[in-house]
């Protein structure tokens, strides 16, 4: 069966890195009105946590394909 956790984790990790870098180097682009909330940086961190969680699940799978003893 196809395990989608690995590509999903990689996808979110890459997108989170892009958002975090965008939030750090162009903070004025994502601010709401006059507030100082940097949405790119915050959502980059959220996506990074989710991506790390999915990668952890994919890499620590207990159902690894091991040969069955006969």
For the stretch 26-58, pLDDT in tens is 866 555 666 677 888 999 999 999 999 999 999
Decide if 42 is inside a domain. yes
- What are the CA-CA distances from residue 9 to residues 19, 50, 68 (Å)? 15, 7, 29
Sequence-separated (6 or more) residues with CB below 8 Å from residue 8: 51, 54
Residue 62 predicted with pLDDT over 80: no
Q: Which domain holds residue 47?
A: 5-59
Decide if 24 is inside a domain. yes
Q: Over range 3-32, report the average pLDDT.
A: 86
Decide if 25 is inside a domain. yes
What pLDDT does residue 26 have? 81
What pLDDT does residue 38 have? 82
Q: What's the count of helices (H) and strands (E) in the chain, helices before strands?
A: 2, 0
Domain count, the chain: 1
What pLDDT does residue 55 have? 93
DSSP state of 1: -
pTM for this model (two decimals): 0.75
Decide if 64 is inside a domain. no
Decide if 65 is inside a domain. no
């Amino acid at each position: 069966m196809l395990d989608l956790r690995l590509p999903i984790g990689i996808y979110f990790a890459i997108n989170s890195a892009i958002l975090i870098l965008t939030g750090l180097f162009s903070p004025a682009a994502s601010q709401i009105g006059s507030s100082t909330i940097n949405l790119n940086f915050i959502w980059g961190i959220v996506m990074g946590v989710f991506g790390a969680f999915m990668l952890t699940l994919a890499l620590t799978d207990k159902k690894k394909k091991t040969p069955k003893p006969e």
